[in-house]
Structures are given as structure tokens and as C-alpha cells.
Amino acid sequence: MDNYNASLDTLFHALADPTRRAVVQRLVKGPAPVKELAAPYDMALPSFMKHISVLEEAGLIASKKQGRVRTCTFNPDKLAAAEKWFDDQRTIWASRFDNLDTLLTTLQGETDET
């Protein structure tokens, strides 16, 4: 499996969880300490840290410890990879209709000529 595919696997897996999506949605607004990110959830810290690790492994966020505070930041590059995949599918899907339009126009022209 190539790197692009492996990267999309971990990326989509990371986004297939409501807690992890909520963390991303918070971090696009700006960096935040883990303690603040974890606050809304009724979850033990080790469980929450597993979500943070999955997001880090997918490259969606980065974290840095300064003293006793670990701060997380959003990394926009990986979202771009996922968006590209969606764009590619949409382009192919749309071109299918363009081809159908061309075919219909051609057929219409042929009908008009007869």
C-alpha cells in the first residue's frame, strides 16, 4: 500500500469518532491545553489521551509539553489530503454527467438533422 493510501486510512480512522472530530473542531479555533480539551468529556484522562494519540498519529494535530502543561495545535496539511480525495471523486462524478450531456446533445443534433 502506498503512503497516500496509508495516510488516508489513518486520517479517516481518526475522524470516524465524535470525540476526535470535536477536538479537531476546537483546535481549528486555536491551540489549547489537553486539560481544557478533555474538560467537556466524562472520560478518564488515559482514555482521552488515546484519542489525542490517534489524532497525532494521523498528523491532524501536534502536541508539545511545557512544564506540566501539554498544549495541542491543529495541523491543516492533513485535512487538505482528505479534501483532495473528495475533490477527485467529485470531478470524476461530474465529468460523467458532462459526458452524458455531450452524448445527449449529439443525439439531439442527429435527431434534428433527420
Interface with a copy of itself includes 15 (CB under 8 A)?
yes
Interface with a copy of itself includes 28 (CB under 8 A)?
yes
Closest separation in Å from C-beta 55 to a copy of itself: 13
Decide whether 64 or 90 has the Cβ nearer to a copy of itself. 90
Compute the radius of gyration of the chain from its Cα atoms. Answer: 22
Ranges within 73-112 binding a copy of itself (CB under 8 A): 74, 76, 79, 82-83, 85-86, 88-90, 92-93, 96
DSSP assignments along 17-84, one per residue: SHHHHHHHHHHTT--EEHHHHHTTS-S-HHHHHHHHHHHHHTTSEEEEEETTEEEEEE-HHHHHHHHH
Closest separation in Å from C-beta 43 to a copy of itself: 14
